[in-house]
Amino acid sequence: MTKEKRQHSRKPFNSTENDFSFYLEDKGELYEINSVQDVSISGVGVGMPKEFNIGQKVALKYDSADYHIAINGTIIWCDNISNLGPCRLGVEFDPGNKEDNALFFLAVRKYLDPFDGVPFKT
């Protein structure tokens, strides 16, 4: 078993809403992200329609009514088990861009925390 290399904990991405768009940009080409599995302040696990090379530099684009964010990152793993379907891959955000990484994490926060609909009590 390999040792976990992540520095920040991952949060499952739970969204039934379709009020945002995710894209991966590679050399000027935009690829729509099929699914987002998990997010941390330092990276994201996504499903893609094609494979990418480990070590490849990319940008993650998140667009919603409130946010338009582009984050630079590096593909650190790519898993295409069936060779027929989408590829799952991990993108590590550029550690030198902490402000954008934190902004992205805050932008998607509502999809990470389970809300029960009960108002916050003080």
Can you give the pTM of this predicted structure? Answer: 0.77
Mean of pLDDT values over 27-43: 87
The DSSP bridge partners found for residue 39 are 11, 44
pLDDT digits (tens, 9 = 90+) for 39-98: 888 899 998 888 899 999 999 999 988 889 999 999 999 987 665 567 889 999 999 999
Phi, psi of 106 (to 5 degrees): -65, -35
Homologous superfamily in CATH for domain 11-110: predicted glycosyltransferase like domains (2.40.10.220)
The DSSP bridge partners found for residue 28 are none
Residue 111 has pLDDT above 80, yes or no: no
Distances (CA, A) of 91 to 30, 63, 65, 122: 15, 18, 24, 38
Residue in the block written with tokens 């684009």? 61
Return mean pLDDT, the chain: 80
CB 45 within 8 A of CB 88: yes
CB 41 within 8 A of CB 8: yes
- pLDDT value of position 121: 44
Domain ranges of the chain: 11-110
